Structure formats: structure tokens, C-alpha cells
Amino acid sequence: MNTPAQSEAPLWPLALYFLAAVVAIVALLALSSILGQRHRERSTGEPYESGIVPTGSARVRFDIKFYLVAVFFLLFDLEAVFLYAWAVSVREAGWPGYLEALIFIAVLAAALAYLWREGALEWGKRKPTQRQRSEGMDSG
């Protein structure tokens, strides 16, 4: 019969690994600051992107739709990753796994339908809804 002390794995290898990682990080940062080159030229601080000298401000405001499309892409791209993992193990998952995949797809389809209905995927000017038209007539 094992006692609780015998069945637990020792934690000292993990602590030693963590300590070695911290020492390596500190050593590399110290060596980099000591041995690294120092440039004081005027052109060192200027931004340079793909061989083109930038014009204008870097603080350009982008429309929120660019970020929304990126987030939607990530969400639905992750859906594909999960479904690919499911497809690899479809035989082991059986019918319960198939049902869970259908529920997963249904939830994502409902989210896509909601986004579509709300106009989150529209890039042109939005037409006012019936409610917005009626509110505009009431206030005017």
C-alpha cells in the first residue's frame, strides 16, 4: 500500500528546470546588453518598412470593420481546426461525437446568422431599418 508521500512525484526537477530557464534568460539579456552594438546615427530611429520610406503619420485610424473581419476570421478559422480534429477521430467518437459536432456547427451557424443580420459583414452604407426610419419620423 502506497502512502500519499510515495505516490507523489518530486517537484525538484521542475524547480531546477525553472531556475535554469530564468538563469539562461538573464544571462542572454546581460550578454546582449554588454556585447550588443550601439548606433547613434540619425537614421537608426527612423521607421523603415519593406524598403519604403514612410510618408505621413503612423497613427492612422482604421475603420473598426477591419478589426471585426480579422476577429471573425479567427473565430471561424478555429472552428475549422476543431472540426479537423474531430474528423480525425470520428470513428472513435461515434454517434455522440457526431451529435456534439452538429451542435457545435449549429451554434457557430447561429452566430454567423446573427452577425449577418446585424450587418457586421456589410462594408457599404447601411440602409436604415424600419425601426430607425420610424424613430426618425417621430422625432422630426
Res 12: pLDDT: 92
Spatial distance between the Cα atoms of 68 and 73, rounded to a whole number of angstroms: 8
State pLDDT tens for residues 77-124. 888 888 888 889 888 989 998 999 999 999 989 988 988 888 877 877
pTM of the predicted protein model: 0.45
Contacts of 75 (CB under 8 A, 6+ apart): 108, 111
**Closest of 82, 69, 70 to residue 108, by C-alpha:** 82
**Res. 134 pLDDT band, cuts 50 70 90:** low
Helical axes 90-118 vs 64-88, angle rounded to 10°: 160
Positive or negative, the Cα torsion across 6, 8, 9, 14? negative
Closest Cα partner for 78 from 117, 108, 99?
108
Q: How many CB atoms within 10 Å of residue 33?
A: 9
List CB contacts of 48: < 8 A, sequence separation 6 or more.
54
Q: Which domains does the chain have, with CATH numbers?
A: 71-120 (1.20.58.1610)
